[in-house]
Every structure is written in structure tokens, then in C-alpha cells.
Amino acid sequence: MHVSLNIIDKYVPLIEKQIKQIPLGEEPASLYGPCRYILGNGGKRIRPVLTLLGAGLCGGSMERAIPAALSVELIHNFTLVHDDIMDEADSRRGKPSIHKKWSMPVAILAGDLLYAEAFRQLLSYGEDEDIAKGDFSRLYETLLDSIQTVCEGQAMDMNFETIDDVTTGQYLEMIEGKTSALISGALVMGAIVAAGSRQQVDSLKKLGKELGMAFQIQDDLLDVVADPEKFGKTKAGDIREGKKTYLLLLAQERCNEIQRNELQRLIASKQMSDSDVDRVIAIFEETDAIRLTQQKVNKYYQNVLVLLEPFDDSVYKEDLVSLMNFLKNRDF
């Protein structure tokens, strides 16, 4: 675990430094202030780090991949701003969300500006003689496809709120878009900048999908089993909000009739008591949903290692394994 944390320390300061150098304007302050606010709120910076690692795995320069990495991080923050509006979330990373600190119109505009700046970052590749025109187009296409797929996943997630019989299969399809798409795109963009082979690009695309699936399902699991102080969220917050997570849907599929009726009644409650939450978690345990969900997460992480095997040994390969282990063993 100590080694993995060093991997974060190795790459994130570089990303943070470059984020501070993004040439955002000064006026109107009501627009640029909120943008600086969310970009300065930290975060794991996993996606831009993956872009740098994707370039390194394909024999490219990490420095050359920085604009692509920043582009991915800007898009990620753009989605967070709009997600908070849709979810009516009061906070993000322990601080007031933009629409709460300022207003909803300000948040929408700030998100739009982050979106525009993300594509501006890619313009430098159009001036790079070593980047073929086709590769330059593929960078844009990869980012646009990732954004479209994220939006499709978000729409599915919103639809789930009004559907009672969501299946685990449908949930996996949703997070493949909402969570995995940008993680996968981040790795692919690094590979494209490094002029990676078609096989390398395809492998990293699949690897990113597996990593994203593991990350999201593990998030569902941590909501129930993690220490709330380390996780940074209220314990069982998803249960209290009645959110459809992989854990909940798997438990519903494995329930007997009595358990299913009880689970539906508890989840439908608008004011869940602590004892109600404890009972939901007990049903998760009775149906073996917690163990099977952890098993599912481990399988996705194992798939990441299999997809990584064909790449030549390098510090970047070692770092990606260490990053994966950091994510796999995280308790937040």
C-alpha cells in the first residue's frame, strides 16, 4: 500500500502544477472564479494519471501527453459540475458544490467553460508535426465518444430512478458508460499521443473499461463496508438515498420472497432509521451479496492484469500495476 501511495505522489503533483497553469481568464470573475474553485478542490486525478501512463506504456513521452491528460481532467470536472446540479448535491469533495456556493446558472456556465477549455488543450497537437492528422482526429473522436457515452450512462442512471425492476446486467451497462468510458478514453488518448499500435490502443481501451467497472462497483461496496471517516461519506449513504447500486440489485435478485418484500419496504422509506439501514445490510449479508460483489470487483482487477501482460516491461507498467493495487486496496 505504501508503494501505491507513492505512485500517486509521483504523478499527481505534476498534474496539479499543470492545472494551475491553465490560462483561464480573470473577468468576469463570476465565471472564472468557480472554474478555479472546482479545479482547485483536489480529487484523486486518476484519469489524467492514466493518460500519462497510457502514453508511457506505448513508448511515448509523458510530457507530450500532458495536454491530453489535462483535457481528460477538465472533462471529468465538467461532468461533476453538471452531476451535482442533477443530483441536487450540496457538496463535492467536502466543500460546497458550485451551484450551492454561487448559483445554478453560474454552475452551468462554469461547466460549459471547462468543456471548451478541454478541447482547447488538444489544439497543441494540431501544431505538432510529429502528430499525424489522422491521430489528431482520433484524439478528438476518442474524447467526444467518451463524453457521449458518459451522457448515455448518466441518462440510464436517471431512468433507473423510476424503474423498479432494474437488473444487475442493466446496471453494469450503465456504469460502463457513466464511469468506465472516460477512464478508458483517458488511456486511449495517451496511447494515441504516443503513436501506439492498433493492438495497444484496443488493449488499453478494454483495460480502462475493466478498471472503471471495478472502481464503480467497489465504490458501491465501500458505501456499506468502509469507515465513513476515511470514505468521506455518510455510511450507507446510498442505502439511505434508495440508490440502485450493484450491491442492492444483486441482493434483490438473490432474495427469497420475504426478504424481497422487506427490502423493498425499507428502501422505499423516505426516513430510514439506523436500525432500518442495519437490516438492509443484514439482508445483503444473508443473500451473500457483499461477498459476491467483492468477488466481482476482484475479477475486474484480475482482467486488468491480464490485459496489461502483453505490454513490454517498463516503469509505466509497474506504475499502472501499483496504481491498480492502490485502487483495489483503498478504503475511501
For residue range 9-54, list pLDDT tens digits in order: 889 999 999 999 999 999 999 999 999 999 998 888 999 999 999 9
Domain spans, the chain: 1-132
Residue 228, Cα to own-chain centre: how many angstroms? 20
pLDDT of residue 117: 97
pLDDT of residue 1: 36
Alpha helices in 226-288 (DSSP H): 228-231, 237-241, 246-254, 257-268, 274-286
**What is the pLDDT confidence band of residue 4, given thresholds at 50, 70 and 90?**
very low
**DSSP assigned state of 288:** T
What CATH number does domain 1-132 carry, 1.10.600.10, 3.30.360.10, 3.30.980.10, 1.20.1630.10?
A: 1.10.600.10
pLDDT of residue 43: 85
**What is the pLDDT confidence band of residue 233, given thresholds at 50, 70 and 90?**
low
The rounded distance, in Å, linking the Cα atoms of 289 and 220 is 12
**For the segment 127-184, what is each residue's pLDDT rounded down to a tens digit?**
766 676 668 899 999 999 999 999 999 999 999 999 989 999 999 999 999 999 999 9
Looking at the predicted structure, is the pLDDT value of residue 80 above 60?
A: yes
- Helix, strand, coil content of the chain in percent (nearest 5): 75, 0, 25
- Please, are residues 251 and 289 in contact by the beta-carbon 8 Å criterion? yes
Looking at the predicted structure, is the pLDDT value of residue 120 above 80?
A: yes
pLDDT of residue 9: 83
Looking at the predicted structure, is the pLDDT value of residue 2 above 60?
A: no
Mean pLDDT of the chain: 92
pTM of the model: 0.94
Greater confidence (53 vs 89) lies with 53
- Please, are residues 38 and 98 in contact by the beta-carbon 8 Å criterion? yes
Percent of the chain whose pLDDT exceeds 90:
82
**For the segment 295-318, what is each residue's pLDDT rounded down to a tens digit?**
999 999 999 999 999 999 999 999
> Residue range 229-237: average pLDDT?
67
The rounded distance, in Å, linking the Cα atoms of 266 and 276 is 7
- Please, are residues 47 and 72 in contact by the beta-carbon 8 Å criterion? yes
Percent of the chain whose pLDDT exceeds 70:
94
> Residue range 73-84: average pLDDT?
96
